[in-house]
Amino acid sequence: MQEFKKGPKGKAKEFQAGKKTERQEFKKTLEGKSPEERKKAMQEFNQKQQAERQVFRAQRRFENLAILLERLAKNPKLTDDQKKRILSAFEANQNEWAACNKKN
């Protein structure tokens, strides 16, 4: 259970910190440019970061699913029906988050 909760959170914080640092460094490169150039460069940078966030979220989703499947396989107390319900609830939750993240 620890690896499921602790590991992904640490990876997310590390990813976010890296993106924040990357953004700060990029903004420094925009000094001295015209407002139009800065606006265009920031738009391109934002699109690049958005794509990277989507890839990261997809990887996290895959990792979380793999951890859940492993844990379900190790649990002999659950019936197949219970495992299917847990899996479908997990997938519904992940789909809800994915839809929310696409809006952002």
Residues 55-90: pLDDT tens digits? 998 898 899 899 999 999 999 999 999 999 999 999
Nearest partner of 15 among 45, 59, 46, 47, judged by Cα: 59
Other beta carbons less than 10 A from residue 76's beta carbon = 5
Average pLDDT of every residue of the chain: 87
What is the model's pTM?
0.74
Domain borders along the chain are 2-103
Cβ distance 87 to 72 under 8 Å? yes
Cβ distance 83 to 72 under 8 Å? yes
